[in-house]
Amino acid sequence: MQSDTVADVKYGFVTDAFRAELPPKSGRRPVNTARWPYVPHTVGFVGISAAMVSILVAAGAPTPLLPIYEREWGFPSWKLTLAFGVYAIALLVAILVIGSLSDHIGRRRLMIAALALNLVAMLMFLFASSIDGLIAARIVQGVATGAASSALSAAVVELAPERHKKLGALMAGMAPLAGLGIGALFAGILAQIVSDAAFTVWLVLVVLMAVATVFTVFTPETGSRKAGALASLIPRVSVPSQVRGLFASTLPGTISAFMTMALFLGLVPIVLRAAFDVESPVIAALAAFVTFGVGTVVSAVTTGVQPHRLRLFGASAMTIGAILFIGCVGAEALPLLWAAAVFCGAGLGASFAGTTRGLVPQVQAHERAGLFAAIFLVAYLAMGISSIVAGMSVGSVGVAAMAVDFGIAIAVVAVVGVVVTGTYGARRGKVHAA
């Protein structure tokens, strides 16, 4: 059971291509946009696509900057991981609570609010004078990113030219990983070449978010309004009975994938500084860029691969990547970091793509929201909690030991993913069952 118009989910951004191809449901009131000078749909598609990438660029930007704050302000390393962990938790809460709100109030309203809130977060980063200020900014940023997720991705698909709806779905699918990698690289390069790196990065992002917010005001509404906005704020987490076995078999892959994201976004910069005396922000930025760049490519070029095979490959690649990272830290062999980034990125992209492509076609349209919520619940709890626990252990075991332990944890969970995925496929008796 496979369909090109089925919803897909990529790292917090929901690709609702199927909604763009259906007429408004009965009971929905189309939004009147005739009295406002809206840009053409094609221009809106380009602009909202850029806004979607921008909000992920902003999410990836702190990766090379947080160690600079640590050096300048002298706070303990565990607070850096706390700043990353609370972002993941805030993003999760926003997705669960606000994820379907744009179905009721329209895409445009929620996009404007979310981008404006992200602008507030950029201003908080810009004027932060302590780690507590950074943590507060990360919480606001997490809420803004989660709130924007479904509205932006659905709008991109709906604004795409009628003959190129798949282009919109591809854009929405590739933007999250690509944006995170570009954001880390952008901030790392600026941090390397300008004296007041953090201020410059956040100033650029303030301007970018302001432009994106203003542009969205002139973007045509693509959704319809319907009753039930308040009711939609109640999180609905459910796994339909027909996919519970498959869902359970995907959990190790999902957990290891999002722990891998936590590793390269939040922990690698700390490890480079503490264990390798690497002060250059570009190195951490490049590691994240390679990881998410490879993940983006793998996700994009494997659309024809069976989901079961993708999950098996993804868990295997993450196992190899985690072992290479352990070797990198344990043997103090920095070149291994790049091999680890390639394997981890490939595993991350394949594993999560295989999970969503395997699960989504097996459920009915009205069951997808609850299923997505269940996937996100596991994914972002894994990311946030693992980051916070890793940071809390630094004081007792040190950065190098923490990094090795984190790598071991990813490797163990990924190996479990290989075994469970293989066993599930054998038990089903046919690889194409999922």
Say if residue 283's pLDDT is above 80.
yes
Least confident of 60-69, 103-112, 337-346, 413-422: 103-112
Contacts of 37 (CB under 8 A, 6+ apart): 218
Say if residue 274's pLDDT is above 90.
no
**Amino acid letter at 176?**
P
| pLDDT band at residue 289 using 50, 70 and 90 as cut-offs | very high
DSSP-based three-state secondary structure for 106: coil
What pLDDT shows up at residue 248? 93
Main-chain phi, psi angles of 127, to 5 degrees = -105, 10
| pLDDT band at residue 430 using 50, 70 and 90 as cut-offs | low
Main-chain phi, psi angles of 205, to 5 degrees = -70, -30
What pLDDT shows up at residue 153? 77
Query: So where are the chain's domains?
Result: 8-22+38-433
**Amino acid letter at 429?**
G
What pLDDT shows up at residue 6? 34
Long-range (24+ apart) CB contacts under 8 A made by 5-8 are: 6/360, 6/361, 7/360, 7/365, 7/368, 7/372, 8/169, 8/173, 8/356, 8/357, 8/360
Helices assigned H by DSSP within 38-164: 41-60, 62-73, 78-98, 102-105, 107-127, 131-159
**289 or 29, which is more confident?**
289
**pLDDT tens digits, one per residue of 131-151:** 999 999 999 999 999 888 878
What percent of the chain is predicted at pLDDT more than 90? 49
The model scores a pTM over 0.75: yes
DSSP structure class, residue 69: H
**Fold of the domain spanning 8-22+38-433:** Growth Hormone; Chain: A; (1.20.1250)
What pLDDT shows up at residue 370? 78
What pLDDT shows up at residue 429? 57
Determine the average pLDDT of the residues in 300-308: 89
Say if residue 5's pLDDT is above 50.
no
Say if residue 411's pLDDT is above 50.
yes
Structure tokens of 348?
């991350």
**pLDDT tens digits, one per residue of 324-344:** 999 999 999 999 999 999 999
Least confident of 8-12, 309-313, 419-423: 8-12
Q: Are 126 and 203 contacting, i.e. CB atoms less than 8 angstroms apart?
A: yes
3-state helix, strand, coil in the chain (%, to 5): 80, 0, 20
Least confident of 191-195, 361-365, 379-383: 361-365
CA dist 175 and 164 (Å) reads 17
What pLDDT shows up at residue 428? 67
Nearest CA to 57 among 121, 127, 130? Answer: 121
Least confident of 117-121, 244-248, 301-305, 324-328: 301-305
